[in-house]
Amino acid sequence: MEVKRSTCLWLVVIVFCFGWIVFQCSSAYASERAIELDQVHTFMGRGQLIVSAKGIRLENKDKLKYTLVAKAPDWRVTIYRDDDKTYFSESLSEFVSTGLFSGFVLLQKERLLKASNFTKSSIKFLGRDAVSWTRPHQTLKCLMVTNLAPEAEKIIWAAYKTPTNGGLPLVFIKAQSGKDYTSGANQEGHMETILNTTKIENIDSNPRLFEAPSGYKLAKSLGVVFAGSAVRHDSVDFQSLFDMKPLGGRK
């Protein structure tokens, strides 16, 4: 009788421990969430940005059709494309210093806004609590995410060349100065939406989202992968826009 009672107790302990392990694993999985944003960038066109505490993925849904991925702990940035089967990889610091395209196209804006120059307000954006910073001729709207990795924020800042101000940029509008880089038309004072967001969704975070495929060929530069052979063949002049030049372009 004692043997049976002891066996039952052990079974109860084993079942309890197994249930606890399953609960912990499912809880950890449930906590691994990501934010998916459908966005439009004035130069790169339509794209989908996915950000979690452990990784970032930026997939171009327009003509350029590149994909950028990076993940913790080193946040090394890799850009690849499925059509050419090419990729290029560089450190976070290298990517932050250049971004995805030349400063000739769009000058890099400061990552953090000077608070004294802007009016801050809480807003609703696509049903989400967001923050807006405004001043004459400039507006930035951001989704402030508590677990946003600073490395992911820097990657977004370098890729979009827009302020992030500690969050996920949703909208950036500013007055232009100088001339358009393609037509040569005077753009002084013209208001342009540099970045806009059309959809925000919470999704399950899959680590594979932030990994580059294997077996692709290493390209000679990030610009080659960013533009792709199809775009380069369309216009030789277009390729010059991807040379990593820190100065010049629209302000």
pLDDT, tens only, 123-169? 999 999 999 999 999 999 999 999 899 999 999 999 999 999 999 99
Place of tokens 């049976």: 4
Of 50 and 182, which is predicted with more confidence?
50
Q: Read off the amino acid at residue 238.
A: F
In sequence order, what are the beta bridge partners of 132? 121, 141
Q: What is the pLDDT of residue 185?
A: 59
Kindly tell me if the per-residue pLDDT of 113 is higher than 60: yes
For residues 133 and 118, is the Cβ–Cβ distance under 8 A? yes
* Confidence band of 22 (pLDDT split at 50, 70, 90): very low
Roughly how many angstroms between the first and final C-alpha of the chain, as a whole number?
85
CA distances from 99 to 154, 166, 203, 205, 234 (A): 10, 18, 27, 25, 23
Q: What is the CATH number of domain 32-242?
A: 2.50.20.10
Which tokens hold the place of 92? 């976070």
| Element containing residue 197 per DSSP (H, E) | strand 191-204
Residue 3 has pLDDT above 70, yes or no: no
Per DSSP, the three-state class of 76 is coil
Look over the chain and give the mean of its residue pLDDT values, rounded to a whole number: 84
Nearest to residue 159, comparing CAs of 70, 239, 28, 31?
A: 70
pLDDT number for residue 81: 97
Strand stretches in 91-160, DSSP E:
119-125, 128-135, 138-143
Q: What is the mean pLDDT of residues 2-21?
A: 47
Quick one: which of 166, 223, 164, 224 has its CA closest to 194?
A: 164
Exposure of 202 by Cβ count < 10 A (0-12 exposed, 13-18 middle, 19+ buried)? Answer: exposed
